[in-house]
Amino acid sequence: MVDQNVKDRIEQDIKGNDVVLYMKGTPVFPQCGFSAAVVQVLSTVGVKFKGINILEDPGLRQGLKDYSNWPTFPQLYVKGELVGGCDIVREMYESGELQSLLADKGVATGANA
Ligand X SMILES: N[C@@H](CCC(=O)N[C@@H](CS)C(=O)NCC(=O)O)C(=O)O
Residues that contact ligand X, how many (by CB under 6 A) = 10
In angstroms, give the least distance from the CB of 1 to ligand X. 18
Residue nearest to ligand X (CB): 85
Q: What are phi and psi of 70, to 5 degrees?
A: -130, 120
**Of residues 85, 92, 93, 98, which one binds ligand X by CB under 6 A?**
85
Burial readout 8-45 (b: 16 or more C-beta within 10 A, e: otherwise):
ebbeebbeebbbbbbbbbebeebebebbbbbbebbeeb
Contact positions with ligand X (CB under 6 A) in 13-72: 24, 32, 34, 61, 72
**Interface contacts to ligand X, rule CB under 6 A:** 24, 32, 34, 61, 72-74, 85-87
